[in-house]
Structure 1
Amino acid sequence: MTKTITALAAAAVVSLPLVASAQMERTPAPEDANVYIITPNEGERVTSPVTVRFGANNIGVAPSGVEHEKTGHHHLLVDTDLPDLNAPIPADDHHIHFGGGQTQTTIELEPGEHTLQLLMGDAKHLPHDPPITSETVTITVVE
């Protein structure tokens, strides 16, 4: 998989340290909080680069490191399952962090089938308890 993220998202990823999980408790999820992928839609055939737009209900979006009640920031999972929910969310090609509070990105994907899913993280990149995840969206990138 080849990935390109917007300059703002890239800056957020490289400038935010991940904190060791041994000293942290997961933040309680706000009641009825949910996240979802606005676009692309399930089963959609798209060309690369792909713009992914994020939505959230009953939870605010705040940059990582900012500890406000009932907030978090998005992580886009590409072609992977949920990570260990008791540890900080990894930062790699399959776990893209939006610690600046971004609500969309553009990524380069190779032709073929891909899965996309959102996972909210708290100020320390830990998933909430219970985790706030979107449905998995499967798309096909065509040449």
Structure 2
Amino acid sequence: MKPQSILFGAAIIALSACSSAEKSADAIADSLATTSEMAPAPVAAVQILSPAEGDTLTLPFTLTLGATGVEVIAANGLREEGKGHHHLMIDGDTPPSDSLPLAAAPVVIHLGTGATERVLDSLTVGPHRIIAIFASGDHVPWTTVARDTVNFVVRK
């Protein structure tokens, strides 16, 4: 057999394999896209419903929280999947560890009763930031639940 014939045959086989692989990859991508469109995965998140980003407020005001994909319950000391309660970080950073309970601190407001509202009446005049964190009944933050942050200003 001539070397040219062998090279030509090898090129045909390689092109066929690439074409088949591309078709298989396209079929898999189409299948995944169709599956995603049919049944979107639920997204668990907490939302700060009020105040809104950039608001200017006077004291007192009510902070209102929402949650999707989770059930808000009173703190009960248990770690139950998809259940928990809100914590607010006032002008603080996110916790140093998501595997430890949120520590009691001046910058942490614990809504352990399962509340979704809190009247804030003791913030100083000026800019503030609140981070809403969803934690289990044992106060350990859920890393599978998206957090929300809002920046606002308190005036006299």
| Corresponding residue for residue 57 of structure 1 | 68
Structure 1 stretches of 5 or more lacking a match?
A: 1-29
| Corresponding residue for residue 153 of structure 2 | 140
CA distance in 1, matches of 2:133, 2:83: 13
Alignment partner for residue 121 of structure 1, among 131, 135, 150? 135
TM-score of the superposition, structure 2-length normalised?
0.67
| Corresponding residue for residue 112 of structure 2 | 99
Cα deviation, residue 132, structure 1:
3.4
The reply on whether 1:70 has 2:65 as its aligned counterpart is no
Cα RMSD for the two superposed structures: 1.7
CA radius of gyration, larger in: 2
User: Is the 8 Å Cα contact of residues 78 and 116 (structure 1) preserved in structure 2?
Assistant: yes
The runs of 4+ residues in structure 1 deviating greater than 4 Å are none
Cα deviation, residue 89, structure 1:
0.6
Aligned length: 113
TM-score of the superposition, structure 1-length normalised?
0.73
User: Is the 8 Å Cα contact of residues 85 and 131 (structure 1) preserved in structure 2?
Assistant: no
Question: What do the CA deviations read for 1:4-53 (whole angstroms, capped 9, x no partner)?
Answer: xxxxxxxxxxxxxxxxxxxxxxxxxx951000101000000000122100
Relative to structure 1, the CA distance from residue 86 to residue 31 in structure 2 (aligned partners, 3 Å threshold; closer, same or farther) is farther
User: Is the 8 Å Cα contact of residues 48 and 110 (structure 1) preserved in structure 2?
Assistant: no
Letter in 2 for 1:98: L
Matches within 5 A, 1:17-96: 31-65=42-76, 67=78, 68-83=80-95, 84-96=97-109
User: Greater share of helix residues, 1 or 2?
Assistant: 2
CA distance in 1, matches of 2:146, 2:104: 18
Cα deviation, residue 69, structure 1:
3.5
> SS at the partner of 1:114?
strand
| Corresponding residue for residue 17 of structure 2 | none
Letter in 2 for 1:110: T
Percent identity of the aligned residues? Answer: 32
Relative to structure 1, the CA distance from residue 129 to residue 138 in structure 2 (aligned partners, 3 Å threshold; closer, same or farther) is closer
